[in-house]
Copies of this chain bind each other. A is one copy, B any other.
Amino acid sequence: MALNNPNPLGPWKITVYDQENFQGKRLEFTSACQNIMEGGVDNIRSLKVECGAWAGYEHSSFCGQQFVLERGEYPHWESWSGSNAYHIERMMSFRPICSAVSLCSNPLNHKESKMVLFEKENFMGRQWEINDDYPSLQAMGWGNNEIGSMQVQSGAWVCYQFPGYRGYQYILECDHHGGEYKHYREWGSHAQSFQVQSLRRIQQ
């Protein structure tokens, strides 16, 4: 089979709908949207990512729960929310994840993903440098179900509360906060604990 990616490096493109199953009012975006209500719709209820990797947010101005959105079709809220402790079915803003590693095979565009996990907050305690996906950190030898702090050296990553890429999503990028996330309060306004049990690179 020909595995030619028609849009290896963008431009980013996302199409959102104000009803489930790609119905209702339809809006196309190729860059960040800070408040979907400015497009004349009250909420996003389905979407298609046509190019690039995106971060979606529960509230306007990129606040609240975070959702990593990779290329494909999302017919309803549950299809992008994953499993979350609270089910407020809202997505009001979104933006491209510019530091996500390209899947393009052009070596000039290739960047490695690399980050360091720390046992304690403020980059203290034992540390572990990673550059791959981990569906279970504990299976790989990490001692418990928490990470104290993280330093993203390259690429973009998504961490999850539960094993197997489930629960709250925290998007971490080398070009935000200087790649430094020294306490769970910096992972996102919805983060309520240090609990992280799986994580993976974001590719596009």
In whole angstroms, how far apart are the Cα atoms of A164 and B70 in the complex?
Answer: 7
Give residues of chain A (76-104) contacting chain B, Cβ–Cβ below 8 Å. 78-85, 103
What is the chain B residue whose CB lies nearest that of A144?
A: B73
A164 and B69 contacting across the interface, CB-CB below 8 Å? yes
Least CB distance from A7 to B in Å reads 9
A78 and B85 contacting across the interface, CB-CB below 8 Å? yes
What 1/0 flags go to A55-79 for Cβ under 8 Å of B?
0000000000000111111100011
In whole angstroms, how far apart are the Cα atoms of A61 and B113 in the complex?
Answer: 42
A103 and B72 contacting across the interface, CB-CB below 8 Å? no
User: What are 10 inter-chain pairs, A to B, with CB distance below 8 A?
Assistant: A1-B127, A49-B136, A70-B139, A72-B198, A78-B83, A78-B167, A79-B162, A79-B166, A133-B200, A136-B203
A5 and B162 contacting across the interface, CB-CB below 8 Å? no
| Interface residues in chain A, defined as those with a beta carbon under 8 Å from any beta carbon in chain B | 1-5, 49, 53, 68-74, 78-85, 103, 119, 126-128, 133, 135-142, 145, 158, 161-167, 197-198, 200, 202-204
What is the chain B residue whose CB lies nearest that of A141?
A: B3
Find chain B residues with CB under 8 A from A4 CB: 141
In whole angstroms, how far apart are the Cα atoms of A69 and B164 in the complex?
Answer: 7
